[in-house]
Amino acid sequence: MAFDFIFMLTSNDRTIPDARARLEQVLESGVRHIGFKDVGLPFDELRELAQVIRQAGGRSYLEVVSLDAESEIASARAAVSLDVDCLLGGTRAPEVTAITRDHPLRYYPFPGRIVGHPSVLQGPAEAIIDSARRLTDLEHVHGLDLLAYRFDGDVPALMAQLCAAVTKPVIMAGSIDRQARVEAAAQAGAAGFTVGSAALDGVFPAETEGFIGQLQSILRMTGQARRLSRAPRRIALVAHNNRKAHLRAWVLRHAQLLSGQRVISTGSTGRMITDALPDLAVKRLQRGALGGDQQLGALIATGELDAVVFFADPSGGHAGDADLQALTRLAIYHDTPLALSPSAADALLAGMIGV
């Protein structure tokens, strides 16, 4: 995630009664990350929400708010049955991952001690950060859902310290109701943030009235805040043999910007980049012909790449055409930016990092 706005069809930690009707407006506004809670609507209606989000090309989120063990386990099973993309919240990671580990959903539990309904995050900050480290050490935990503004303390400091302490993405949730809080989450290094009641109640300043105006206003704030983000972008760099020299020149030109990102590359391309920039940390996959392109496809499918730069050989009849076609299809389906030439890659980097 590259700092995304996740709209929650919720109010007071419950899915709103008219969620299905509101969902049409959410999609019309351009929001692509959409979630709901595990309480508030019958299961069949939650299933319909998940299906409509998927059919529209969005990414679906189910957030757990139940605090007792039996309800949390039931929610994890519901997430699997609903086939959502991400499960947010909950406090019993070992029990939940036993249920979700064989499902492609991404799991982001709450760090720290959560009490009450609506949920509140209790400290001290050191204990919350220690909890975050323990959770992200678990194999089938893919990130964290931090109830940042439900914490009675220095929230910006907690967000920044926690994001710095873990290598997995952190989503900020709970009472984000103004632009300053969106920007603070980005500056802390968050991968995204959730808004629910605040948009439904119309608290954000907007150019146009109504619910859609609220969502479009938050999307604009998100784009502005993304340029403040300290979270490293996960960028795949690949090139066909006849285009490796072009990619090498592009990497050298953007060496300073790339040094702060997480670069992933297929085997021989990764070696070329490492030879050109020895200080740049590059995670190397298999060579493309030996499965590296398929590994990249898997990272796109699981939401672990923010962008792909693939300098493709346009001459035709290339042995890697089928792999490029498969990556392109996955990038479209999972809404992952894909650049196939230096100019496109320049524009992509400028949009992501603000150069």
Q: Is the peptide bond prior to 156 cis by the omega test (within 30 degrees of 0)?
A: no
Angstrom CA distances, 319 to 241, 248, 315, 324, stand at 11, 21, 11, 10
Question: If you compute the radius of gyration of the chain from its CA atoms, what whole number of angstroms results?
Answer: 21
CA distance 134 to 128: 10
CA–CA separation, 46 and 58 (whole Å): 15
Strands (DSSP E) found in 164-287:
170-172, 192-195, 234-239, 262-265, 282-284
| 197 closest CA partner among 120, 107, 118 | 118
**Among 259, 180, 262, which residue's Cα sits nearest to residue 224?**
180
Cα(277)–Cα(53) distance, rounded to whole angstroms? 42
8-state DSSP, 241 = G
Among 164, 355, 160, 339, which Cα is nearest to 258's?
A: 355
Selected catalytic residue, list 4, 13, 38, 293: 293
CA–CA dist 154, 79 (Å, integer): 33
Q: Which two tokens stand for residue 107?
A: 């799991």
Cα–Cα nearest to 299, from 122, 128, 27, 106: 106
The answer to whether 261 and 251 are in contact (CB under 8 A) is no
3-class SS of residue 36: strand
Q: For residue 214, which of 225, 201, 223 has the smallest C-alpha distance?
A: 201
User: Can 83 be counted among the known catalytic residues?
Assistant: no
334 CA to centre of own chain: 11
> Where in the sequence numbering do the catalytic residues fall?
293
